[in-house]
Amino acid sequence: MTATVIRAADRHHWANEWLTSRQSFPGTGNFDIFDNAHGVLAMHNDDVVDSGEGLDAHQHQNMEIVTWVVDGAVAHRDSHGHTETLQAGHAGAMTAGRGISHSERNAADRSSGQSLRVIQMWVPPHTDGLEPAHSSRDFNPLLADGEPVVVASGRPEHAGGAALHIANRYATLHIARPHAGQTITLPGAPFGHLFVVHGEVTATADDLASTVLTEGDAVRLADAGQVTVTATADTEIVYWEMHAEFASARPA
């Protein structure tokens, strides 16, 4: 097993007049995102968007894009007719497939001063050229007890459940909001990525000594067994369970 701790201050940072993006993998600028991928996770951005601002319509192909809303609300619109506003505790999953244009903006008026915070995550599909699609769900009720919830998955065992579908049979996104003092268990996998959205936890996995993680910290795991997480404050965590790495997850 290997475990690499990435502290919040060590993330790649990018900003303009209305966006602050703190990136677990460099995703802005002259970077090959797949060279920096961990498992099949190629992008994991923690973005804060000023009120009344956001990304205008732009195109994607052959990518599975999951957006988790932490604070505020995001207005989603795409070229296949999906228009909706996702509030905090909602997730959206988009299959870009053979091509889709979309915009994602802070739904709040500029005068409100309400910022938007989202975690946006990209994994490649296991099949190129799929029909574009978008789905979403409010996960707040399922997260209330603090236990991990499968929010998005392409793994067969999660088909037909509450999780949003992504077209990657090797990946599952778990999210949890453990309460102070609560201990939860996350599944082991060939590749794992644990990220603290807010709060503080102590994480332990196999030979990984107990490690304290606070907001913005992450651990990249390889060949790890179950991950035990104890919250020392009310906390929100995001965890990717992955059973392949990028090269083997792509279509031949």
Known binding-site positions for Fe cation: 58, 60, 102, 104
DSSP state of 101: E
And the tokens for 145? 């007890």
Which among 215, 238, 250 is positioned nearest to 91, based on CA atoms?
Answer: 238
* Residue pointed to by tokens 């599952």: 172
As a whole number of angstroms, the distance between CA 156 and CA 229 comes to: 26
Residues counted in the chain:
252
The strands making up 2-6's β-sheet, listed across from edge to edge, are 2-6, 218-224, 189-198, 236-242, 171-176, 149-153, 164-165
Binding-site annotation, residues: 58, 60, 102, 104
Residues 6+ apart with CB under 8 A from 122: 33, 41, 42, 43, 44, 63, 64, 65, 66
Chain centre to alpha carbon of residue 14: 18
For residue 251, give every residue at least 6 positions away whose Cβ sits within 8 Å of its Cβ, in sequence order, or none. Answer: 126, 127, 128
CA distance 93 to 164: 7
